[in-house]
Amino acid sequence: MELMIPSAADSFLQDESSYDKGEAVKAFDETKAGVKGLVDSGVTKIPRFFIHPPEDVQKSSPESSHLGLQVPVINFEHCESYRRSEVVNEIRKASEIWGFFQMVGHGIPASVLDDMLAGVRRFHEQHRDVKMEFYSRDRKQPVRFFCNGDLLVNRAPANWRDTIAFDFQDGKLDPELFPETFREEVSQYIRHMIQMKKTLSELISEALGLPSDYLSSIECMETESLVCHYYPACPEPDLTLGATKHRDPSLMTILLQDNMGGLQVRNQTQWVDVPPLQGALVVNIGDFMQLITNDKFKSVEHRVLVGQEGIPNIGSMLFLSKRSK
């Protein structure tokens, strides 16, 4: 069945005299097809509500590469034994200076990570009628598909991405609620992430100079939100963003990115690329971590660029937070 987006030219690409953002956003949301639906319909210009100010979309700072700025890469191999103090020290430095680091040698099989990315792609690229079963703006839904969670209320420009999100409590969520297209992949991935959460909790506690059970003892990592973004190739990538600059409000985020990249981190006045590394996971400090460490560990701005090459970007983020009372 051919994808039909109601009055795309009229609703999304109105001229100056007739443009009504509220109407355009509402018409787009009612398709329940997301950004992928726009791309599939053949748009060559993006709707105005996706257009960001030029100063926000400016690409990498040229000086960053000349200065050799790079998000730290930490090898977690043998972090449970003789390299523990070395890894703890590297985490401390990265968290104080960058608020970001890449993990390699973490022990999660490459097949688990590759299968997860393939599953996210498979979900977002299946027929929209199947995805629509999960489309919801109700944050109480444990599994939901949407485009920009605050699209209908946020006055800021929208991000060029679609999302499926899963809300867990200590890794617990009925797999029967997961989309069939990647049910096993999500189940397998979250099992490994729960173990990684435990490892990071202990190492970061020690990096703060505290007992290894400190973060678990204050119960600030019981809720896991797995957010799987899909950033379609964009016909006008210089006008929009996959994620506008922001800080994560959570304690910590663990990101799995595909080989297309797009993630950038703010380091003082520079935007620095976080190049994809095969088998790596990216960790960033959130606002809550900065709060409970009295600003010792930094939550920093980051964003995601979109591409034009015809291949979408994919990212899977696990946000670790304190359980809401």
Q: What is the residue-wise DSSP string for 24-46?
A: HHHHHHHH--HHHHHHHTT-SS-
E strand or H helix at 185: helix 183-207
Say whether pLDDT at 54 is over 80: yes
Name the phi and psi angles at 224, rounded to 5: -120, 125
pLDDT of the residue at 17: 58
Say whether pLDDT at 248 is over 70: yes
Per DSSP, what are the bridge partners of residue 100?
284
Using pLDDT thresholds of 50, 70 and 90, give the confidence band for residue 227. very high
CA dist., res. 117 & res. 281, Å (int): 12
pLDDT of the residue at 307: 84
E strand or H helix at 225: strand 223-231
End-to-end alpha carbon distance in the chain:
45
Using pLDDT thresholds of 50, 70 and 90, give the confidence band for residue 6. very low
CA dist., res. 49 & res. 255, Å (int): 27
CA 189 to mean position of chain CA atoms: 15
Burial 120-134 (b: 16+ CB within 10 A, else e): bbebbeeebeebeeb
Answer whether 311's CB lies under 8 Å from 260's CB. Answer: yes
